[in-house]
Amino acid sequence: MDVAMRAGAAAATAGPNHATGRSAATRRPRVGVVKFASCDGCQLTILDVEDHLLEIAERFEIVEFAEATSRRSSGPFDVLLVEGSISTPEQAVEIARLRAEAKLLVAIGACATAGGIQALRTAAEHEAFRAAVYPVPAYVDSLATARPISEFVHVDAELRGCPISPEQLVEVLVSLTTGRRPQLPDQAVCLECKRRGIPCVVVARGLPCLGPVTRTGCGAICPAFGRGCYGCFGPREQANTAGYAAALVWQAANPAGDDPNAPMPPPDSRRPVDEADVGRLFAGFNGATAPMRSITDKLGGRPVMPLRATLASPPETLLGGPPRWGAMPADTIKSEDPDGPRG
Amino acid sequence: MGHGGDLRFQVENLTRVEGEGSLHLRVRDGVVEEAHLAIFEAPRYFEALVVGRTPDEVIDIVARICGICPVAYQMSAVHAFEDLFHVAVHPQVRALRRLLYCAEWIESHALHIYLLHAPDFLGYPSAIELARDQRELVNGGLRLKKAGNHLLSVLGGRPIHPVSVRVGGFSRMPDRAELVALRPSLEEALALSQATVDVVTGLEAPAFEREPRLVALKHRSEYPLNDGRIVSNDGVNLRASDWGKAFHEVQVPWSNALQARAGDGLPYLLGPAARVVLAGEQLHPLAKEALVRTGALESIRRNPYRSIVARAIELVHVCAEALDIIDAYVKPEAPAVAVTPRPGIAAWATEAPRGLLFHRYVVGDDGKVAAATIVPPTSQNQAAIEADLATFAPAVLDLPMGEATHRLEQLIRSYDPCISCATHFLDLSVEDAG
Amino acid sequence: MVIGPDTIATTPTQFLPRHRFDDLVEALGEGGRRVVGPTIADGAIVFADLAGHESLPAGWTLQTSPGRALLERLPDGPRESRTFQYPVSGEGIRRFTFPSRVDALAMETAEDGTVRVRVAAPAEPMPLAVVGARACDLAALAVHDRVLVGGPAIDPDYAARRRDLLIVAVECALAGSTCFCASMGTGPEVTAGADLVLNELDDGFVVRAPTAAGERVLATLGLAAAGPDRATTAAAQTAATRAAMGTTAIPADARSLLLANLEHPRWDAVAERCIACANCTLVCPTCFCTGLEVGSGFDGAASSATRTWDSCFTEGFAQIAGGSFRPRHRDRYRQWLTHKFATWWDQFGTSGCIGCGRCVAWCPVGIDVRAELNAIAETAPTPAPIAVPARDTVEAADTGLAPLEFSPATVVSVIPETADTTTLRLATDDPRILAGLPGQFVMVGVPAFAIPPISISRFHPDGLELTIRAAGAATSFLTKLRKGAALGLRGPLGRGWPVADAAGRDLVIVAGGIGLAPLRPVIDAVLRDRDRYHDVRIYLGARTPRDRLFVEEIDALAASDDVLVRVTVDRAGPEWLGRVGIVTQLFKSVRGTGADATAFICGPERMMAATADVLGDLGVPREHTWVTLERHMECGVGLCGHCQLGTRFVCKDGPVFSVAELGEDLRREGL
Amino acid sequence: MSSAQRTGPGAAPTDDPSGRSEPVPIVATLPPGPRERLLALVTRRELDAGATFMHEGDVTASMSIIVRGRIALRLRVPERGAVTILTLDPGDIVGWSAIVPPYRATTSATTLEPTELATIAAEELRAILTSDAEVAAAFLPRVMETIAARVEATRDQLLDLFRGVEVDPW
């Protein structure tokens, strides 16, 4: 189970009072929000629960949240929300320091819980990636791969998703003040899809959908928007990705199903036609997790290293003084050099 | 704080910016010798991660570059591909994409004005403290932000990383009733944004003026969002796909983000100020009226601290245009048209909330991406920020350290830098990968 | 409670011209009645509000095959403009009588400090008319009537929605490749459950009104008689549909086949393909399993519980603190298939499958229940028929309805037992609870928390005791309650220990760990009436000496002459002079336990199974050896479906069972 | 009532109060020949409570069958001191290591109550088991039974069935 908190960890907020046993926080729990390699979307979600934001600010003491406040603190934290994957040596050291400061550490989002899309690169490819990305790789320090927080320190709870769900975030905060277990279902997206009465896009349209092997939590928005799930919340419990990938590969070859006189589903560029297409489906934001990885290892789908991604003439690297404002000579712009200055 | 000798000036962690950066200045005898905006956001190598993917997959992936402006990344990408594939989308699709962009601008601008930037002017560490004293003000900002998020959810399923954009159109388009139901919240948002203009115009901005080179999209009839030509206040005028003809990227040793410079190696400025100045005529009448009311056009151009006013005026524009688009909306027969991929170079620029965002993809014969270049606004603004720091820093060095730090951070924040976008970009030449 | 249309003599059929279909819709809508029917949305045929003929899927049909349900234009010809020319819709009418989300409970701590748990009374249901239900949909409705309002517990939400439902059925004019209602004896002919029945012809509909309600609607239309020709055409059409399906889609006596092959290798084979997505259970019109989602504010003073569709294909479905009883897809698929085709008979006297084939068409990987059943039949010997045990389907009437309401209770004292276990002494004036029996349990409600089932560990004239081990959020919260705390109780629930069974016999009581709690009322009862029983021996196991429950009581008991008490612990330091070892080790040093003994056992399932074996070796009859089971429960009254074990609902048929009753089930799905 | 038996932690667990001169369990149930030849080797011992008559690691001097009383088998565990892993009751065998190489005690044995043992010296037992096939055939299976039972019991203890599951504080 994702939410496996250490006993008494939430005591700071869930201590019973004399009669009701209801949470009687003697002081507001100190909350920190930090990020590693990520898009900031998950911590932005905290600011996106507009209806609860000010109440949250009253019930919790937000002592560290660089994106939202200038006040900085190094802890200790009752709850530390951690976004992003560990991608540099400095980050590996930093997360260990933060863990020691935090009573509860909650990893939020696909980057923190599964490494994120950036975790698709393998150690073998790392140097090639770095060389391809930066003219002078030496200036850039990064680990061979991007890894989830739980590979470096103990994680008390995980909020899945790319991005996380605002409802689940509030659910976790509420459970901290009430002492109850947050309801973070680990079942397939299909359950929510069916509850909403959305016709299955696999069956009715022949579209590829990761819903059956993906954890619910998003509200089944992709099928609701007429497309297949692409796995934002990562593998559901006991995901049978092998069985499903096999079925998708078969369907790629037999889009109409096994009924000889069945009609073809309406043409759609998103429908897989070969194994590689199916493979790429599993190489998403949670593609580094074992159930997904086991498929891409077989079918491929992880990013192809651009072997010729070296620069004919790398952009010059600037040193020394700061840039100064100045007028741009007209001719430099008007130059119609077809390939631009990069040559 | 004296002038003599060698002064090192460090802001370790920039706060209330999206992502992780730091500022380093070296000043000798009152002259700034070094102004480094260091971005240590860890590399994520997106330009390599999209290689081998289909255009529709790329749209989902590049959104993850930035959780604050995912729509911008989806828009630059989808337009780039549709430009290469000669796709003519349904007029309502085009309109709805503008609406989607409006929604993101509302959310992003409201976030920056109320939660990130306003506390600077009013002397609070964060909107939370600000809310204790001026709850109504912050509540208004949150309602504005929510209006944008709500619209994003209706159009794309969720505010962050929406799921509905695809090459050729949308995977689903809403029923008219779904959009009409949003009118009340958007009408309130319009009113709130008009009030916002007056509030931020009244904020006292540090005296600091310079003559920046401004760059933005410009369209004959629309305020720049997804469409227009790349223009500058000193003569640039290029197709949205031709960014590379006037600008290029460079790497600096102190940052994980590539910087962009003009052909002459000099900095230029993107964002609300650039747009309001260069494309002011295309503002919605209500936004124009607000701009006139402030009489701040000139100070917006010259004083970076006044960008908050430009942002507020754009808020008025996107709220007003959103309402217009909804009123004119008719659900088309099909949400998307069929697309035939063809190999070649797909490039396009659109206007993210914080400035011009350029995408360039090499599409192979298999219809998949072979190479990519993504130039986000913050890496383009980086040089401008450093240039401003170099110019402005001496003026605050006499202040106490804390105050000076605050002023410089406030200056950096006025660009609404989105550092997580600015990092990890891959540079490829056509010939190499084509 | 009895629901459903009052079937009367069928009036002669009439004819509804296609152009007058909207008149029917209008007539149905009389008095603000909501009218729903099939329409096309998101590439499928779904039920939605019916504006009139134009919202029907005219000119479309649905091609269903395993894993596919694809819309297709009707071929040119006389039938090209028909509106019901498709097999079953993607989703039946279940959503309207059994919504995927309904308010179930509202809990709050009232001003006076008491906890109020209100069973959400459904808002006055809007009268509803459903147009386009098929024979299978009606059969499914009949199954739900039995399950949800047939007792002992009545689902108030379903009852309310069901009460004023008008059904216009359509007899299928064609069968999909996934249809097999004829094999299940539920169609395609509409025999019961409909107020109006339509047979669609090219130019309109042959209509008949089996019920008074239907007749009233029909009367307002003033239609002409259908005439023999149309009637004949209609009948022939339905007959052709039946012929197309055949009647042998699944093996004869599938129930016996499955019950005899619960370990068949086919279960492993299907588990490799099954992705446990739960779609089959969610499109199945007879599935009724639900879960509760609890929602509350930051202070947790009040909360609400939403009842949602749940599925036996999820790991959490059979989860208790110790783990899941069905960890593997194999276990889950077997539960689903055996429940539908076999154990449903034992539980409700009917099949759980009505042959609509939705689970076949809407399975993303195209698993076909017919193929799975036939595969087992082909590779297994023809099973000896296993008779369905006679089951009183109106037990509700006799035993009275199971309690749904929660009655308030107050903590009058708290007795710490061990580091993680606490006994709450509760005061209640609910006569039903006070009249509870040893081995029964209550569902315990406090705002903001899930509602756990807790065994009653002692009865008092004015209340009861609950001995609770902190094993999860709710239970650890309960162990933190203080004097004066309020909570709500639903109960007493379940079948208790058959104490009478031990009268005049030796009584052997074996408890492990917290397992002593449900047995303490038995000990109390025995001591109150010691002479009714012969030798009484109590064997207790605990993890360590510190983990023993009710230590003073037990020591006093041991010191008395009334019963024999033996205690053993799994591990201890040198200071412990008592026994160390497992419970079963205690028996051999005591002679006399045998054929004349009745045994009550409670503890971890493995311990109960081992104990039952040893007692069996000593000659204690299996039908006199009783255990009590722990399973996941959301309701405690047989509605949520979570606690099923083979043919049983642990909540209402148990939790106390004899080893003879359970047979292999105990080990098959034990932890 | 027929069996008013008293026992419980600490109390003396005699199923038959008339205790003295009880037949030797196990041996008493062997066929006459082997029974007599084994009984000839048996010496009965009375031990007070708290007597440790076998020491972990020592050469096992004898095998005993408990006639009356209770014995604790203990191990020394670093940092945890003495741990009682099993207690034995009448009919149980103590010191099976007397016939299993290397003939060294795997636990210490301490009486918890006044205890009567029927003891056979290790060498004599090993001798008769090798020389007297009839005795070996009759007696060894009974020894195996108790050892097997003990292994099984140990397994169940290992499972720690009564352990509370990890409480999660949500």
Residue C8 is which amino acid?
I
CB within 8 Å of chain D, chain C residues 339-378: none
pTM: 0.88
Neighbours of C670 (CB within 10 A): 15
CB C119 within 8 A of CB C405: yes
In-domain check, residue C659: no
In-domain check, residue B21: no
Which two three-digit tokens encode residue C434?
A: 């006070």
Are A4 and D169 a contacting pair at CB < 8 A? no
Output the pLDDT for position B6: 54
* Spatial distance between the Cα atoms of C617 and C626, rounded to a whole number of angstroms: 15
**Closest to A204 in 3D by CA, of C181, C358, C81, C79:** C358
* Spatial distance between the Cα atoms of D50 and D71, rounded to a whole number of angstroms: 9
Output the pLDDT for position C301: 87
Strand order in the sheet with C224-225: C44-49, C34-41, C128-133, C165-170, C196-201, C204-208, C14-17, C224-225
Query: Where in the sequence is the domain holding B146, given as residue range(s)?
Result: 46-433
Residue of chain A nearest C293, judged by CA positions: A183
Which two three-digit tokens encode residue C182?
A: 């004829």
In-domain check, residue B128: yes
CATH code of C428's domain: 2.40.30.10
What percentage of chain C reaches a pLDDT higher than 90? 75
C265-286 pLDDT tens trace: 999 999 999 999 999 999 999 9
Residues listed for chain A = 343
CB–CB contacts below 8 A, A to C? 210
**Closest to B34 in 3D by CA, of A317, A327, A324, A140:** A324
CB A173 within 8 A of CB A46: no
Residue B343 is which amino acid?
P
**Closest to B89 in 3D by CA, of B332, B350, B363, B322:** B332
- Same domain for C459 and C413: yes
* Spatial distance between the Cα atoms of A56 and A62, rounded to a whole number of angstroms: 9
Q: Which residues of D are less than 8 Å from A6 in CB distance?
A: 169
Neighbours of chain D (3+ CB pairs under 8 A): A, C
Residue B243 has, within 13 A of its CA and on its CB side, a CA count of 31
According to DSSP, the residues that pair with C494 across neighbouring strands are none
- ipTM for this model: 0.88
In-domain check, residue C643: no
B424 touches chain A (CB under 8 A): yes
In-domain check, residue C241: yes
Q: Residue A317 carries which DSSP code?
A: B
Where does CATH 3.40.50.700 sit in chain A? 11-178
CB B239 within 8 A of CB B230: yes
On the question of pLDDT at A94 being above 50, the answer is: yes
Residues 6+ apart with CB under 8 A from A208: A202, A228, A248, A270, A271, A272, A277, A278, A281
What Cα–Cα distance (Å) separates residue A249 from each residue in A227, A242, A265, A277? 18, 11, 16, 9
Q: Which residues of A are less than 8 Å from D167 in CB distance?
A: 7
- Same domain for C45 and C153: yes
C-alpha distance across the termini of chain A, in Å: 54
* Spatial distance between the Cα atoms of C189 and A319, rounded to a whole number of angstroms: 86
Which two three-digit tokens encode residue A180?
A: 């109850």
Burial class from Cβ neighbours inside 10 Å (0-12, 13-18, 19+) for residue A75 reads: middle
C74-131 pLDDT tens trace: 999 989 999 999 998 788 899 999 999 999 999 998 888 888 888 877 667 679 999 9
- A255: cis peptide before it, omega within 30°? no
Output the pLDDT for position B366: 92
Handedness of CA C129, C134, C139, C140 (dihedral sign): negative
Where do we find the tokens 């970076």? B304
On the question of pLDDT at A66 being above 80, the answer is: no
Q: By three-state DSSP, how is residue C27 classified?
A: helix
How many structural domains comprise chain C? 4
Neighbours of A133 (CB within 10 A): 26
In-domain check, residue C590: yes
Confidence band, pLDDT 50/70/90 cuts, at residue A317: low
* Spatial distance between the Cα atoms of B424 and A130, rounded to a whole number of angstroms: 9
Q: Phi/psi at C514 (nearest 5 deg)?
A: -65, -15
Output the pLDDT for position B406: 78
Output the pLDDT for position A308: 38
Residue of chain C nearest A60, judged by CA positions: C298
Instruction: Chain C: give the shortest CA distance to residue A169, in Å.
Output: 12
Output the pLDDT for position B358: 94
C46-81 pLDDT tens trace: 999 999 999 999 999 999 999 999 999 999 998 999
Which of A145, A269, A277, A313 is best to mutate for the B interface (most B CBs within 10 A)? A269
C459-476 pLDDT tens trace: 999 999 999 999 888 898
On the question of pLDDT at D12 being above 60, the answer is: no
- Same domain for C340 and C429: no
Neighbours of A12 (CB within 10 A): 19
Higher pLDDT, B343 or B34: B343
Q: By three-state DSSP, how is residue D52 classified?
A: strand
In-domain check, residue B14: no
Burial class from Cβ neighbours inside 10 Å (0-12, 13-18, 19+) for residue C510 reads: buried
Nearest CB among D8, D10, D168 relative to C565 is that of D8
Are D169 and A3 a contacting pair at CB < 8 A? no
On the question of pLDDT at C347 being above 90, the answer is: yes
* Spatial distance between the Cα atoms of C329 and A237, rounded to a whole number of angstroms: 11
In-domain check, residue B34: no
Please give the domain boundaries of chain D with CATH numbers for all domains: 30-154 (2.60.120.10)
Which two three-digit tokens encode residue C654?
A: 């148990």
CB A148 within 8 A of CB A112: yes
- Same domain for C540 and C474: no
D168 touches chain A (CB under 8 A): yes
Q: Which residues of A are less than 8 Å from C72 in CB distance?
A: 263
CB A115 within 8 A of CB A175: no
* Spatial distance between the Cα atoms of C38 and C48, rounded to a whole number of angstroms: 6
Query: Where in the sequence is the domain holding C506, given as residue range(s)?
Result: 502-628
B8: left (phi over 0), alpha (psi -120 to 50) or beta: beta
- A76: cis peptide before it, omega within 30°? yes
Which two three-digit tokens encode residue C383?
A: 């099973």
Residue B257 is which amino acid?
A
* Spatial distance between the Cα atoms of A333 and A336, rounded to a whole number of angstroms: 8
C520-538 pLDDT tens trace: 999 999 999 999 999 999 9
Nearest CB among B16, B51, B250 relative to A316 is that of B250
Output the pLDDT for position C670: 63
CB B172 within 8 A of CB A226: yes
Nearest CB among D70, D87, D170 relative to C473 is that of D170
Nearest CB among A45, A116, A303 relative to B51 is that of A303
Output the pLDDT for position D7: 36
- Same domain for C230 and C260: no
What Cα–Cα distance (Å) separates residue A164 from each residue in A45, A82, A289, B259? 7, 12, 17, 31
CATH code of C602's domain: 3.40.50.80
Largest CA distance in chain C: 96
B322: left (phi over 0), alpha (psi -120 to 50) or beta: alpha
B383 touches chain A (CB under 8 A): yes
**Closest to B114 in 3D by CA, of B23, B192, B204, B13:** B192
CB B92 within 8 A of CB B120: no
On the question of pLDDT at B180 being above 50, the answer is: yes
CB within 8 Å of chain A, chain B residues 136-175: 138-139, 142-143, 145-146, 149, 156-161, 163-164, 166-168, 170-172
- Same domain for C368 and C233: no
CB C183 within 8 A of CB C244: no
Output the pLDDT for position C650: 94
Q: Which residues of A are less than 8 Å from C364 in CB distance?
A: 190, 200, 202-203, 209, 212, 244, 247
Are A262 and C65 a contacting pair at CB < 8 A? yes
On the question of pLDDT at C557 being above 70, the answer is: yes
Which two three-digit tokens encode residue C139?
A: 């059969």
Are A179 and D169 a contacting pair at CB < 8 A? yes
Where do we find the tokens 């959301």? C634
Residue of chain A nearest D167, judged by CA positions: A7
Which of B27, B64, B170 is best to mutate for the A interface (most A CBs within 10 A)? B64
Largest CA distance in chain B: 72
- Same domain for C612 and C565: yes
Neighbours of D96 (CB within 10 A): 16
Nearest CB among C316, C329, C485 relative to A186 is that of C316
Are C589 and D165 a contacting pair at CB < 8 A? no
CATH code of B316's domain: 1.10.645.10
* Spatial distance between the Cα atoms of A305 and A290, rounded to a whole number of angstroms: 21
Instruction: Chain D: give the shortest CA distance to residue A159, in Å.
Output: 14
Output the pLDDT for position A321: 61
Which two three-digit tokens encode residue C546?
A: 């510190």
C130-143 pLDDT tens trace: 999 999 999 999 99
Looking at mean pLDDT, say which of B69-73, B412-416, C102-106 comes out highest.
Answer: B69-73
Instruction: Chain A: give the shortest CA distance to residue D159, in Å.
Output: 21
Residues 6+ apart with CB under 8 A from C333: C267, C270, C271, C274, C276, C313
* Spatial distance between the Cα atoms of C574 and D49, rounded to a whole number of angstroms: 13
- D102: cis peptide before it, omega within 30°? yes
Specify the fold of A11-178: Rossmann fold (3.40.50)
Nearest CB among A39, A57, A134 relative to B420 is that of A39
CB–CB contacts below 8 A, A to B? 340
Are A7 and D169 a contacting pair at CB < 8 A? yes
Residue A246 is which amino acid?
A
Are B266 and A129 a contacting pair at CB < 8 A? no
Are D8 and C571 a contacting pair at CB < 8 A? no
Ranges of beta strands (E only) in chain D are 43-47, 52-54, 62-68, 71-77, 81-88, 93-94, 108-111, 115-121
- Same domain for C427 and C451: yes
* Spatial distance between the Cα atoms of C167 and C93, rounded to a whole number of angstroms: 10
How many structural domains comprise chain B? 1
C415-441 pLDDT tens trace: 999 999 999 999 999 999 999 999 999
Are B45 and A118 a contacting pair at CB < 8 A? yes
Residue C363 is which amino acid?
C
A132 touches chain D (CB under 8 A): no
- C152: cis peptide before it, omega within 30°? yes
